[in-house]
Amino acid sequence: MAEFILSILAAIRAFLRSRGDTALEVLALRQQIAVLKRKRPRPRLNRLDRLFWTTLRKLWSRWTDVLVIVKPETVIGWHRAGFRLYFVIAHGRRKIRHFNVTRNPTAEWVVQQLREVFPEAGPYRYAIFDRDSRFDTDVVDFLKATGLKPKRTSVQAPWQNGIPERWIGSCRREILDHVIALNEQHLRRLIRDYVNYHHPDRIHHALDKDTPNCRPVEQKPSPEATVISSPRLGGLYHRYNWREAA
């Protein structure tokens, strides 16, 4: 289903780029009329409607001029609504040890995620987390049983756990603000793709502009060598390498 939606998305993008502002305005108004004609006491937007408007927002600067059925802030919020995202990140090299998403996070669910990432005692000494009510005594007891010392951040002090907070912000800006997640499975795949890009390709100033996986600096092999780019995350970003001249 996700692949089908993405193919439709590509077709919409091609259509929008081939037409002027007038055609875009007509298309946007027709879409809203179609929503209002639905036989319900109060028409509701489905995921295809959301996909339409999030795509239009990326491709047309005047999209807010013709939007009537919802507020612009609602369209922006569709990128992030509906799911809770949990990570376990190792501070030393900024490596993601585990992640998962869910619509209904519970303390039991959190403990299960911790079981998957800490099946036995390891080299870690502390586990830092905020004051979310889901991090209850069961979570604390599990961490202690694995040999970890739980450390809660202060109230409304995300800077005390700045590394994962920064990672989540980067993930939102670099992938989730560009693609609307259709369901949990789609969001999980998007995050997995981002993690696969993050570890070998994304540099960090705190790591002396290295990647979490310690990517070596490539020296130019010969004067005739050229730079080639390999797309990452569907072309949102690229990795650059040297290539020997043919």
Q: For residue 181, is it within any domain?
A: yes
pTM of the model: 0.71
In this structure, are 54 and 89 located in the same domain? no
CATH of the domain at 195: 3.30.420.10
In this structure, are 71 and 134 located in the same domain? no
Q: Are strands 126-129 and 149-152 parallel, antiparallel or unpaired?
A: parallel
Question: For the chain, how many residues are written?
Answer: 246
In this structure, are 52 and 119 located in the same domain? no
In this structure, are 187 and 225 located in the same domain? no
In this structure, are 185 and 154 located in the same domain? yes
User: Where do we find the tokens 């756990």?
Assistant: 161
- Interatomic CA distance for residues 139 and 60, integer angstroms: 46
In this structure, are 224 and 189 located in the same domain? no
In this structure, are 196 and 110 located in the same domain? yes
Residue ranges in the chain assigned as alpha helix (H): 2-18, 21-36, 47-59, 63-66, 72-77, 107-117, 137-145, 162-171, 184-201
Could you tell me if 164 and 148 are in contact, meaning their C-beta atoms sit under 8 angstroms apart?
A: no
Q: For residue 49, is it within any domain?
A: yes
**What are the CA-CA distances from residue 152 to residues 102, 123, 161 (Å)?**
22, 20, 9
Q: For residue 223, is it within any domain?
A: yes
Ramachandran region, residue 237 (left: φ > 0; alpha: ψ -120 to 50; beta: rest) = beta
Domain span at residue 117 reads 84-201
Cα Rg of the chain, angstroms: 22
- Interatomic CA distance for residues 102 and 78, integer angstroms: 16
Q: For residue 89, is it within any domain?
A: yes
User: Where do we find the tokens 């807010």?
Assistant: 64
Which residues, 6+ apart, have CB-to-CB distance to 78 below 8 Å?
50, 53, 54, 180
Sequential pLDDT tens for the chain (246 residues):
445 544 555 565 566 556 566 777 788 888 888 888 877 667 778 878 887 887 777 777 787 888 888 888 777 776 565 677 888 999 989 999 999 998 888 999 999 999 998 877 678 889 999 998 889 999 999 999 888 999 999 988 889 999 999 998 899 888 887 777 777 888 899 999 999 999 999 999 889 999 999 998 888 888 889 999 999 988 889 999 998 876
- Tally of domains within the chain: 3
pLDDT at 111: 93
Three-state secondary structure call for residue 227: strand
